[in-house]
Amino acid sequence: MRDHFISTSARGINTELLPYQLYQKAKRFGIWNPQDISFAQDKEDFANMNDQQKEETLRRISGFLGGEEAVTLDLLPLIMVIAEEGRLEEEMFLTTFLFEEAKHTEFFRLVLDNLGIKEDLSHFHGDVYKQIFHEMLPEAMNRLRTDKSPEAIAEASTVYNMFVEGVLAETGYFGFYEGLNKTGIMPGLMEGVGYIKTDEARHIGYGTFLLQRLICEHPHVYDVIVKKMAELAPMAGQLYQGLDPALETSALGVRLTDVQQFLKKQLAVRMEVLSRARGKTMEELYKQSPAAVDA
């Protein structure tokens, strides 16, 4: 039972806390509308692609669309846990988080609709993709409905923020930029990807803060995170190994070795940033700047 309100107490809202600063950034930079983006040139560019290039583009879009839908559907249990713990500033940011994930889902569906793609694209989702988004992500997040332990929260955030957003999505953006942005095609798609990438940077920043907070409060949680990332890492490599490992570049000119190197770097960077919290006090964590969680 609630016995007081934080915002009316002498404490008030902690405007120095990183999640509150992310909330302010979300208000400034997260208010973009997918329906304001023109896809006229994208439709023309897509029509001029060969079959292999079209397949690569649709494969990447369908991967993102399914992933964005998944994270939209699966985020709520974490928000509920944070709310129950009375972490007002964190929940304020998480309200923007869920709004943005829904908007990302809308965006990628709009891309397909404007390209005239109506067929089922789920055949692009292979076994590893399904294991991650159909099983591991919802299981980790839904566990929070009954298990609100630090270990459960850490595993959920590791899967969601560090792996799905911080590794898989970041590597997917890299593929978009290498395949489309360098050649100046699909400008509407790339405009939206730019907005989404900025949104996701805030999401990853919050996830890093959350996991660092848990490490400060419960030092053994670091080992839980390390174990979970070690379990997930091989799946990332399998997901981005390419349809034909013998090919050096994709149909859109993306070097597969560059993708794998980027992926490995993301995995290493996430753990390096989290390790910074080891041995820190909560006071030190709360005083850190946004740059401290920036990877």
Contact 179, 254 (CB under 8 A): yes
pLDDT at 182 over 60: yes
Identify the pLDDT of residue 86: 92
Provide the CATH number for the domain around residue 77.
1.10.620.20
pLDDT digits 0-9 by tens, 270-280? 999 999 888 88
Confidence of residue 245 (pLDDT cuts 50, 70, 90): low
In total, how many domains does the chain have?
Answer: 1
Which of 5-19, 21-35, 85-99, 170-184 shows the lowest mean pLDDT across its residues?
A: 5-19
Identify the pLDDT of residue 183: 85
- Measured CA to CA, the distance from residue 84 to residue 19 in angstroms comes to 17
266 in a structural domain = yes
2 in a structural domain = no
Q: Please give the span between the terminal C-alpha atoms of the chain, in angstroms, as a whole number.
A: 39
Q: What is the DSSP string of 141-154?
A: HHGGGT---HHHHH
Q: How many CB atoms lie within 10 A of CB 94?
A: 24
Mean pLDDT within 173-191: 92
60 in a structural domain = yes
pLDDT digits 0-9 by tens, 68-100? 999 999 999 999 999 999 999 999 999 999 999
Structure tokens at 186: 């699909």
Residue numbers of the domain that contains 142: 18-23+37-293
pLDDT digits 0-9 by tens, 146-175? 999 999 999 999 999 999 999 999 999 999
79 in a structural domain = yes
Q: Which residue has the tokens 């964590």?
A: 285
7 in a structural domain = no
Confidence of residue 295 (pLDDT cuts 50, 70, 90): very low
Which of 39-48, 206-215, 246-255 shows the lowest mean pLDDT across its residues?
A: 246-255
Contact 293, 212 (CB under 8 A): yes
For the chain, the average pLDDT equals: 92
pLDDT at 49 over 60: yes
pLDDT digits 0-9 by tens, 107-157? 999 999 999 999 999 999 999 999 999 999 999 999 999 999 999 999 999
pLDDT digits 0-9 by tens, 218-235? 999 999 999 999 999 999
Q: In the chain, pLDDT over 70 holds for what percent of residues? A: 94
173 in a structural domain = yes
Contact 108, 64 (CB under 8 A): yes
Model confidence, pTM: 0.92
Closest CA relative to residue 60, chosen from 133, 3, 112? 112
169 in a structural domain = yes
6 in a structural domain = no
